[in-house]
A and B are shown apart, each in its own frame.
Chain A
Amino acid sequence: MKKMMVLVLLLASSYSFASIRCTGNNIDIKVNPLAKSLQISGKYEGTINSLRGSGIEYFGTASSGNFRSLTLFVDGVDSELTVIGSNGRASGIISVDCN
C-alpha cells in the first residue's frame, strides 16, 4: 500500500513536470518545465533556457533565435501564444493546440 501511495505521488508530481507540446499556425513549441527550457520552430525559431512560470503560464526571454520574448498560456482548451519579435513588436495573440 505504501509503495502504491509513493507511486501515485511520484506520478502526480511528475505530471506537473511533464513536457508540453503546442502546435498550430505554423508554430511548434516544446516546453520542458523541469529543465525550465522552451524550444520553438516554424514561424518563430529559437530557444529559451531560463523559462519562467509554471502550470498554465510560461514566459521568458530568448537565449537564441529570431524573437526576443514570448508568453504561452496553456489550458488544454484555448492555448494562446504571444511572441515579441526581434524589433520589440508583439505578434498579437496566436492560437495553438497544446497536449
Chain B
Amino acid sequence: MNNKLIMISVISLLFKILLLFAFLSTYADASSNYVSIDIEKLDYKKPDSNRGEAGNLIFPQVRLSWDEMKISLDNNSSFLDANIKVNPRYIKFKTSGLGFTFPLESESGFFKVNGATLENSSFILNQDFFNFSGEKFSVTNGTSKLILDKFNVYCNGEDDMTSGKGLIKGCLTDLILNGLNEGDLAGATIDYYDSTANGENIFLSSRLKSFELKSSKFKLDLNQAHLEVLNYNIDIGTADISCEKESKLYELDVDRLKNACVDKTEIHAPHIKIKDKETGSGFDISLEQLKTEKNSIEAVLPSVEINGEEGKTTKLSSIKIDCFKKENYEFYDLHKIISGCVENGQIDIDGISTVGAKTEQQFAKKLNVTFENNLVILDMKIKLPLIPQFKFNVEAYVRHDQDNKTLTFDIIRYKTIKILSWRYALRKALEFYVKGNDKMYMDDKKIVIQL
C-alpha cells in the first residue's frame, strides 16, 4: 500500500512537472520562434475569479525572436520590473513604460496553478528544445505543492516544441532533469506535498543526481528520498531505478506510462528504511536487485530486518524471490505480488535469526518455498531451544484473498521430528513473519495469516 502511494506520488509528480511545461509554453505564442528569459524573481498568485493583480516579475533580460524580428530587453535600472495581471483570456506583464500581453490558450493548464514562485531562473524555449533551470521553483494547485531547488530540466523534440503538444511529446522522448550546477553532488532537490484520496497527507522529499528519459527508458539516479505517508516514514538511500516506456507514447497517459514501467523495471536500492511512527516498528531492507518482466518478478535481497514493536528484531538473510507476475500488475503492491507468487513462484531464504543487543540467534536456515498452482511445498531447517536442529517439510494448498488480505494454508501433509507436533513447529516458524499470534489462526488442518 505504501509502495503504491510512492509510485502514485512519483507518477503524479511527473505528470505535474509536464503539466507545468505545458503551462509555461503558453508564454511562447505559436508565431514566436524563440523565447529566452532570465528571471530574478517571480511571485504569482492566482486572483479570485481568474481576474486582476497576480503578483510581480523581475527579470534581468529577455530575448525573443518574433518571425524575422529579434527583440532584446535588458532590464537596466529595473525599468522592466513588472506587475502581473490576468484575465481568463490574457496575461499581461506591465512595467513602468511597457506592457507585454500574451494570449492564454483556453485549454492550457494556466488557471490550474494557484501560485508559483521562481528565483534566479532561466527559461529557454524554441521549436527544437526547452531548457528550464534555477535556484528555486515552487508551484501549487491548492491541494498539492511542488518545490524544486537547484534544478535543471532539458527536453528535446522533433515536433515544434513551442506548442503544448510538441513540448509534451519532446519531454516524453528526450528529457533530462538534474542539478543546476555540474559540480553539485547533491543534485536537484524535489519536495512534494499532496494528499491521498482519503485526505491523508503525503510528503516526498528527494535529492536526485539525474532523471532521464531517452526514447523508451526512464532512468532515475537517486541520492536519497524521504516519504511520509499515513503513519509511515520511508527513507531510501542511493538508488538506481530504470523502467521502460512505450517508445511511441507521446501523450500524458498515466496508465500506459505506469503499465509499461511496472512490466519492465530494474531497481538497485541498498538502503530502504520503513518505520511506523506510532508503534516504532519497521523494516530495514537491503535490495540488491529487483527486476520485473511482463510475467515475472525477481528480487535479490541480502538482508531484511523486521523491527518489532517491543524492540525485537528478526533478520532474514540472503533472500531470493522469483515469482510469476500478471501483466500490468504493480510490483509495489504486496498483495498483487503475493497472488502471483502463489500461482507460481520460488522463495529462498538462507537464514532467519533473532537479533538482540549483542546476540544473534539463528532460528531457521535453508528455507525454500515452492509454489505451483496454489500448491506450496516448504522446506527448512529449524533450531529451537533445547532441541537439536531438525528438518521441517510441509505441503499445503494455499489461497490468497486480496480483499480480506489473508493467506490460508490447507495442510495436506507434513514431515518433522516425532517429538514435535507440526503445529508447534510451524507456529514457531510463522511467528517470525507476523507481528503476533492475533494475526494468525491455526486449527488441525488450516492456518490463516492476516497480512
Contacts and interface: CB of A to CB of B under 8 A. Distances in A.
Interface of A: 52-53, 55-57, 59-61, 68-69, 71, 73, 75, 78, 80, 82, 84, 87-90, 92-93
Given A71-B126, A87-B176, A59 B131 contact: no
A56 B65 contact: yes
Nearest to B181: A89
Nearest to A53: B33
Contact of B131 (A52, A55, A90, A93): A90
Contacts of B122: 90, 92
A60 B133 contact: no
B344 interface: no
25 contacts: A52-B127, A53-B33, A55-B68, A56-B65, A57-B33, A57-B65, A68-B154, A68-B156, A69-B128, A71-B34, A71-B36, A73-B65, A80-B63, A82-B36, A82-B124, A84-B129, A88-B152, A88-B153, A88-B154, A88-B178, A89-B133, A89-B180, A89-B182, A90-B124, A92-B122
A69 B129 CA distance: 7
Contacts of B358: none
Contacts of B70: 56-57, 73, 75
A52 B161 CA distance: 12
B72 interface: yes
A68 B212 CA distance: 14
B373 to A, nearest CB: 49
Interface in B161-182: 176, 178, 180, 182
A74 to B, nearest CB: 9
Contacts of B36: 71, 82, 93
Nearest to A57: B65
Contacts of A89: 131, 133, 152, 154, 178, 180, 182
A60 B128 contact: yes
A57 B64 CA distance: 10
Interface of B: 33-34, 36, 61, 63, 65, 68-70, 72, 122, 124, 126-129, 131, 133, 152-154, 156, 176, 178, 180, 182
A87 B129 contact: no
A90 B133 contact: yes
Contacts of A68: 129, 154, 156
Contacts of A78: 72
B176 to A, nearest CB: 3
A78 to B, nearest CB: 7
Nearest to B123: A90
A84 B175 CA distance: 13
A93 B152 CA distance: 16
Nearest to A85: B182
B131 A57 contact: no
Given A68-B156, A88-B154, A59 B127 contact: yes
A73 B343 CA distance: 63
A58 B63 CA distance: 14
A87 B68 contact: no
A61 B178 CA distance: 19
Contacts of B69: 56
Given A73-B65, A89-B154, 20 more contacts: A56-B68, A56-B69, A57-B33, A57-B34, A57-B65, A59-B128, A60-B128, A68-B129, A68-B154, A71-B126, A73-B63, A84-B129, A84-B154, A87-B178, A88-B176, A89-B133, A90-B122, A90-B133, A90-B154, A93-B61
